[in-house]
Amino acid sequence: MSEQEEAQPQMRHLGLAPWLQTAWDLRAAGNFIGGGSGTGLLILTSAAAYYGIYSRVLLLAGLALVGLGLFSVFLEIGRPLRAMNVLFGGKRSWMTREAMVAGVLFPLGAAALVYPDLVKVVWIPAAAYLYCQARILEATKGIPTWRSPLILPLILSTGIAEGAGAFLLLGPLVLEAGIPEWGGAVLISALAARVFVWMFYRRRMVDGGAPVAAAAVLIAFSGPFTIGGNVMPIVFLVLAGLQPDMAVAALAAAGLIAMLGGWALKITIVTKAAHNQGFAIDHSPARGSGESGVGFKPGWREVPKDKT
Amino acid sequence: MTKWAMTADLGRCVGCQTCTTACRHANNTPPGVQYRKVLDMEVGEFPDVRRVFVPVGCMHCDEPPCRDVCPTTATTKRADGMVMIDYDICIGCGYCILACPYQARYKVTKPTFAFKGEATANEAQRFDERLLGVAQKCTFCVDRVDYGLANGLTPGVDPEATPACVNACLAKALTFGDLDDPNSNVRKLLDKNKSFRMHEELGTGPNIHYLWETEDK
């Protein structure tokens, strides 16, 4: 690769087999991290309002995370001065819909800082925003690990897990009555859902749903993610239940690890296991008087026809 | 209706890359950007190994995923099937680059020239600032096609109205024409030959058809 292409990785074109996409890097992953954790936290903060718990700090933290995510992706676009054009494509694009929902979420969140009763409805645009993020990935037909239908429950469950994690982490610092009991239950449910979906997602990708190189990344990530990002927080949650004197610290640790696990998942899926489709032919041609031959799909595992 | 499409005869293509060169000349693309590429594949296992050359590029899909994800409506599909980019609207988010399963799109963020920092006289004259920081790809040489139609020419038949890559193909492996016209060159070729389309299982409806065997075989 030339120096010029080194400096502009979007220009890279590497051979026949699927190669790692370079159009979206950590800045784009930042949008999914901030958006997922932020909306997850906003959903829990909104739910807490139904139990008489109101915290401006949690509300602000949730909005700030979403805002940071959007700012992060703003740094990635080629023509930042035209950023508002992102609102034109609502008919088809989930990215536009995400931006439109943000246009509801931020004013509503700001209003809820002044009128606490409004917190009870903040979960609606927050959940919609999280859903849009999942659909953004799912609509990306060129990246096999993103277009899987299982990406939808995976992004939703990790968003809730990250938000519940942030809630348990920040709650003791800002909630006078401490964390409500259901906080831990939400986290454990979201973690269970996340690891459950992850197992199916990973299996589908490894079984031919993704290029070999992307599947290898997921395989390498699976162990640390399952144990470190999901089992460990559950262990801390159990510890919090068994040892009430350590409960606050254990819940915070569980929350932090669950959140970091989700961030690692997104960094992995968006920037590391994001190999493109590559190229394939269904048949080799007949040349001259010769016979035609088999097809070719480099970089993909051969899957028996009855499994496709 | 008109539906522009291309056929690539894999039995004819010799991998000379003349189409690539012609495309780069016609579109003044910078280093690393190739709207029309020719892949060099080695298929099979010893001793039954064969070499296949596969021209690729934007497939001007029936259901283009690049258009569906575009948040700005910069990517559109014309009534005649061509998928276009409005460079003045595109924000360069890169979403379409990822959505395209044919790796047909590029984004160049700063001027690059064949001889590093300095543009040749040709590059300097033809440099288009609008293409910086936005998505770009093959247009089926829309300017030539539209010019031809406006002047009573037939795209795919008259060279002035035909994409540069097709004009340049020395093996006549590439053909361009109206898929909806039963008498067009591409329709006749598709009637006479077995063909497939790349990644058809993804539901994109690509409009480059690969010919791999004549029907009478």
Q: What is the mean pLDDT of residues A252-257?
A: 97
**Can you give A109-176 as a three-state secondary structure string?**
HHHHHHCHHHHHHHHHHHHHHHHHHHHHHHCCCCCHHHHCCCHHHHHHHHHHHHHHHHHHHHHHHHCC
Q: Which residues of B touch A273 (CB under 8 A)?
A: none
Residues paired with residue B195 on neighbouring β-strands, in sequence order: B211
Q: Which residues of B touch A73 (CB under 8 A)?
A: 93
**CATH superfamily membership of A20-307:** Formate dehydrogenase/DMSO reductase domain (1.20.1630.10)
Residue B163 gets which letter from DSSP?
A: -
**Measured between CA atoms, how close is A126 to chain B, in angstroms?**
20
Q: Which of residues 68-107 of A touch B (CB under 8 A)?
A: 73, 76-80, 82-83, 85-89, 91-96, 99
| DSSP-based helix, strand, coil % in chain A, nearest 5 | 70, 0, 25
- Residue B213 phi/psi, 5-degree rounding, is -165, 145
pLDDT tens by residue, B8-23? 999 999 999 999 999 9
User: Quick check: B8 contacting A, CB < 8 Å?
Assistant: no
Instruction: Report the pLDDT value the prediction gives residue A177, as an integer from 0 to 100.
Output: 85
pLDDT over 80 (residue A32) = yes
Residue A207 gets which letter from DSSP?
A: I
pLDDT over 70 (residue A63) = yes
pLDDT tens by residue, A265-276? 999 999 999 999
pLDDT tens string, chain B, 217 residues long: the values are: 899 999 999 999 999 999 999 999 999 999 889 999 999 999 888 888 889 999 999 999 999 999 999 999 999 999 999 999 999 999 999 999 999 999 999 999 999 888 877 899 988 999 999 999 999 999 999 999 999 999 999 999 999 999 999 999 999 999 999 999 999 999 999 999 999 999 999 999 999 999 998 766 5
User: Quick check: B176 contacting A, CB < 8 Å?
Assistant: no
Distance CA(A63)–CA(A73), nearest Å, equals 16
- Cβ-contact B206, B102 below 8 angstroms: yes
Q: Give residue B23's Cα distance to chain centre.
A: 9
**How many residues would you count in chain B?**
217
Q: Which residues of B touch A4 (CB under 8 A)?
A: 30-32, 112, 116
Q: What is the mean pLDDT of residues A236-256?
A: 95
Distance CA(A224)–CA(A220), nearest Å, equals 8
pLDDT over 50 (residue A11) = no
Residues paired with residue B42 on neighbouring β-strands, in sequence order: B51
Instruction: Report the pLDDT value the prediction gives residue A308, as an integer from 0 to 100.
Output: 40
Distance CA(A90)–CA(A112), nearest Å, equals 26
A209, exposed or middle or buried, with CB in 10 Å at 0-12, 13-18, 19+? buried
Banded model confidence at residue A7, pLDDT cuts 50, 70, 90: low
Distance CA(A108)–CA(A121), nearest Å, equals 8
Among the listed ranges A143-152, A243-252, B76-85, B158-167, which one has the minimum average pLDDT value? Answer: A243-252
pTM: 0.94
**According to DSSP H, which parts of chain B are helical?**
18-27, 65-69, 95-99, 121-126, 142-150, 164-168, 185-192
Return mean pLDDT, chain A.
93
Banded model confidence at residue A291, pLDDT cuts 50, 70, 90: confident
Cβ-defined contact of A88 to B56 (cutoff 8 Å): no
Q: Which residues of B touch A78 (CB under 8 A)?
A: 90-94, 107, 109, 132-134
Cβ-defined contact of B72 to A11 (cutoff 8 Å): no
Banded model confidence at residue A9, pLDDT cuts 50, 70, 90: very low
pLDDT over 50 (residue A225) = yes
Residue that the structure tokens 């890559």 belong to: B165
Structural domain boundaries in chain A = 20-307
pLDDT over 70 (residue A305) = no
Structural domain boundaries in chain B = 4-214
CATH of domain B4-214: 3.30.70.20
Cβ-defined contact of B32 to A8 (cutoff 8 Å): yes
- Residue B156 phi/psi, 5-degree rounding, is 95, -20
The DSSP annotation for A213-280 comes to HHHHHHHHHHHHIIIIIIIHHHHHHHHHHH-GGGHHHHHHHHHHHHHHHHHHHHHIIIIIS-B-----
- Cβ-contact A228, A128 below 8 angstroms: no
Q: What is the mean pLDDT of residues A149-175?
A: 97
Distance CA(A244)–CA(A222), nearest Å, equals 32
**Measured between CA atoms, how close is B152 to chain A, in angstroms?**
36
User: Quick check: B89 contacting A, CB < 8 Å?
Assistant: yes
Residue A11's nearest CA partner among A20, A19, A23 is A23
- Cβ-contact A55, A48 below 8 angstroms: yes
Cis peptide before B47 (omega within 30 of 0): yes
Residue of B nearest to A77 (CA): B93
pLDDT over 70 (residue A68) = yes
Q: What is the mean pLDDT of residues A83-106?
A: 98
What is the share, in percent, of chain A residues with pLDDT greater than 90?
88
pLDDT tens by residue, A195-215? 999 999 999 999 999 999 999
